[in-house]
Chain A
Amino acid sequence: AQTVTQSQPEMSVQEAETVTLSCTYDTSESDYYLFWYKQPPSRQMILVIRQEAYKQQNATENRFSVNFQKAAKSFSLKISDSQLGDAAMYFCAYRSARNYGGSQGNLIFGKGTKLSVKP
């Protein structure tokens, strides 16, 4: 079974600074997807960034980028130029690339990292 581990329950960053959130995962599959989701307080979860395992190039979305190390099964999120609106819970998630049988697209989440941004 696949597992996702986020070892930092809480992180704090100064506004305009850079912060890195860690995530490791375990799987025996070779083809899968990894995601970072953001969950602001009392608001819905939204996708921040996505990485396909077959792609060697790290995904980037504006101020958000990932460091994907497939051999090490590591998938960290870097937030540059942090803004007050970045304060939220961040969840790392795994999804199998299989489209047959079970586990068709359901996400396996870590426990999350609560990010605070100091003005």
Chain B
Amino acid sequence: DTGVSQDPRHKITKRGQNVTFRCDPISEHNRLYWYRQTLGQGPEFLTYFQNEAQLEKSRLLSDRFSAERPKGSFSTLEIQRTEQGDSAMYLCASSSYGNTEAFFGQGTRLTVV
């Protein structure tokens, strides 16, 4: 399967701990997006990469959140000092420049206890 993959699928962590999620986009896609989806809501945009450059960050992305995409391949999203409000599904999507369709991964469900 050559779709977008995310790891882990589920993560339970204690409040105050740091967590890191990984996203592997479709190999030829140069655009990568992170979204957060809480229960009963649609996904909300967090940040966007074109190749290795992080070009946009939402105001939702507090200073506890950081994302990287070294070498323009996979991406990581780290949340430091997790809070219960961080509990959500974190979705990754990728697309190629000039193509309007974004392909989504299955997401990482984070539960902060």
Binding site for B on A (CB under 8 A): 4, 6, 33, 35, 37, 42-47, 50, 52, 91, 93, 95, 99, 102-112
Q: Which of A43, A99, A104, A109 contacts B44 (CB 8 A)?
A: A109
> Top 10 closest A-B pairs, CB basis?
A109-B42, A45-B104, A106-B45, A44-B106, A102-B56, A44-B104, A33-B100, A109-B43, A111-B42, A91-B42
B100 and A95 within 8 A (CB): yes
Cross-chain contact of A104 among B40, B55, B91, B93 (Cβ < 8 A): B55
Q: Which residue of B lies closest to A109 (CB)?
A: B42
Interfacial residues of chain B within 3-52, with CB under 8 A of chain A in the complex: 3-4, 31, 33, 35, 40-45, 48, 50
| In the complex, chain A residues whose CB is within 8 Å of the CB of B3 | 44
The residue on A at minimum CB distance from B31 is: A105
Whether B45 and A108, one on each chain, are in contact in the complex, defined by CB atoms closer than 8 angstroms, is yes
Roughly how many angstroms separate A44 CA and B50 CA in the complex, as a whole number? Answer: 22
Interface positions, chain B 54-83, Cβ under 8 Å from A, are 55-56
Interchain nearest-CB distance for B9 vs A (Å): 9
Are B105 and A105 in contact, CB atoms less than 8 angstroms apart? no
Residues of B within 8 Å of A6, CB to CB, are 42
Whether A107 and B31, one on each chain, are in contact in the complex, defined by CB atoms closer than 8 angstroms, is no
Which chain A residues border B56 with CB–CB below 8 Å?
Answer: 102-104, 106
